[in-house]
Structure 1
């Protein structure tokens, strides 16, 4: 018999007048997993999180926590806690009072509040700071206080509403690692919403990519990156070159296509139903493209282009090529061998990528 998931959404929808913000979404999150909902602004992820928290009621569908429906349970009675983007710490209270606020609201006596606050602060790496002012903390420490304030209540599910959005880049990179470590430490189910793919890819056990109120795909970071099921997922998760083409042969195995500039391509159909004559969109990752100065290798999808610019970013450096035949721009991840360290604008390079690295979707 399978274990009851900590969180289950069954055919959840939410409408505001004629606008459907969340459209028949279903998913479940097992105990102790880090589940992220990733999508652009306005896709419905915040509305979904607010329904789980109890701040909004679904128009239809059911929400269950530990197998129990909570659709009609008010927010303060649900076994969930929430970390907001701007943390909402109380500046007039010290750290201990902030962390213990929820316990005091529950009527826990002072002695037990102090013990539980000290215990949870130690677990988030802030032992001995209960008497300090919130203003004395760094941004990362405030994040940990906000998490401690939630975790001291021992929720079944912790909801996180873009909690790293207000931090600077370097601190966000550090906190991604810390959040994953804290989630493992507490073994609590985290439901995390973000528009930042890097946050979701680094931290999550499972990710749902949301677009226009629906889940386009749910999977691991590797599944979403290497096996995107829709053009939206392929374009939103990671970087990709997009090429318009037409299907010339849709027989068994690889598709044969031709770009609008007349270049032949071969690629893998990402979904069933593509037929000869269909308009298609081809996606290839920058790191899948191989460069050479001399060419000669005609195996795969090949071409030549002129260097437009080199985007230096250390190990993540890219070169932007303009294809000699089509004029299209192609972004290529530079290998870290030093072979192309001396590239200059105007240089000619040959490129190729394997057909099995080429994913093809129907173009609307």
Structure 2
């Protein structure tokens, strides 16, 4: 018999007049899972999180925590805690008072509050600082205090509303690792919303990609990146070169397509679902493209060309080239290999490129995927 999930949403919808912000969303989150909801601004993720917290009522559907519906349970009685984007720490209280605030609201005696606050501060790496003012903390330490304030209440589910959004880039990168470590330490179910794909990919056990009120796909980071179900997921998760094209021919599972600027591309149509004349969207990851100064090195690949370096975007290990196809003029974003082979590559240099058919992800233009 399967274990009851910590959180389950069944056909949850939320409408504001004629606008449906969340549209029949269903999912479940097993105990101890780091579950992220990833999507652009306005996709409905914050509305969904607020319904789980109890700050908004669903228009329809059901919400269950540990197998029990919480629709009629007020926010302060639900076994959830929430970390807000701006943390909402009380500046007039010291660290210990902030962390113990919820316990005081519950009527826990002072001695027990002191013990529980010290215990949870130790677990988040802030032992011995309970008497210090909140203003003395760095941004990352404030994040840990906000989490400690929630975790001292021992919630079944911790909700996190884009908590890293206000941090600078370097601290945000550090806190991604810390948050994942804290979640593992407490073994508490985290439900995390973000528009930042890097946050979701690095930290999550499962990710739901949300768009226009619905989940486009739920899966692991690798599943979303390497096997996107829809064109939206392929374009939103990770970097990708995108082409629009029409199917020119198909034989033996291989499909030939011609882009809007006249480039011929090849992909695999494993389901044999494409027909000549179909409009398709094509996605190719920058790291899938191989570079070579010798045409023979890429000649056997399914898609080849010659491009002039239009720009070099240096970003250490994540450096990229912008190539302009010598035949069509189309631009191609290519990950720059870190072998040192192309270290002396300069703007206006001409180089050969290619990628295999199986690296070409193809979707019917109406959004239906072909399995490539």
TM-score where L is the length of structure 2:
0.96
Tell me the distance in 2 between the aligned counterparts of 1:211 and 1:265: 29
Residue number in structure 2 paired with 1:50? 50
Tell me the distance in 1 between the aligned counterparts of 2:43 and 2:227: 22
Q: How do 1:108-187 and structure 2 match up within 5 A?
A: 108-187=108-187
In 2, are the aligned partners of 1:9 and 1:64 still within 8 Å (CA)? yes
Structure 1 unmatched runs, 5+: none
1:272 Cα deviation from its structure 2 partner: 7.4
In 1, are the aligned partners of 2:253 and 2:270 still within 8 Å (CA)? no
The DSSP-based 3-state class of the residue aligned with 2:15 is: strand
Residue number in structure 2 paired with 1:215? 215
Tell me the distance in 2 between the aligned counterparts of 1:108 and 1:93: 18
Q: How do 1:265-276 and structure 2 match up within 5 A?
A: 265-269=265-269, 273-276=273-276
1:262 Cα deviation from its structure 2 partner: 3.0
In 2, are the aligned partners of 1:228 and 1:270 still within 8 Å (CA)? no
1:271 Cα deviation from its structure 2 partner: 7.7
Q: How do 1:294-305 and structure 2 match up within 5 A?
A: 294-296=294-296, 297-299=298-300, 300-305=302-307
Residue number in structure 2 paired with 1:346? 348
Tell me the distance in 1 between the aligned counterparts of 2:53 and 2:6: 14
In 1, are the aligned partners of 2:261 and 2:330 still within 8 Å (CA)? no
Deviations 1:265-308 (A, max 9, x none): 21134987432210111100000000111212322100111110
Q: How do 1:71-86 and structure 2 match up within 5 A?
A: 71-86=71-86
1:177 Cα deviation from its structure 2 partner: 0.2
In 2, are the aligned partners of 1:13 and 1:60 still within 8 Å (CA)? yes
TM-score where L is the length of structure 1:
0.98
Number of equivalences: 364
The 1:12–1:270 alpha-carbon spacing in structure 2 relative to 1, beyond 3 Å, is: farther
Structure 2 unmatched runs, 5+: 367-372
Residue number in structure 2 paired with 1:10? 10
In 2, are the aligned partners of 1:261 and 1:325 still within 8 Å (CA)? no
Tell me the distance in 1 between the aligned counterparts of 2:192 and 2:207: 9
The CA RMSD over aligned residues, in Å, is 1.2
1:223 Cα deviation from its structure 2 partner: 0.2
The DSSP-based 3-state class of the residue aligned with 2:344 is: coil
The 1:11–1:269 alpha-carbon spacing in structure 2 relative to 1, beyond 3 Å, is: farther
1:248 Cα deviation from its structure 2 partner: 2.2
In 1, are the aligned partners of 2:21 and 2:44 still within 8 Å (CA)? yes
The DSSP-based 3-state class of the residue aligned with 2:347 is: coil
Tell me the distance in 2 between the aligned counterparts of 1:190 and 1:269: 38
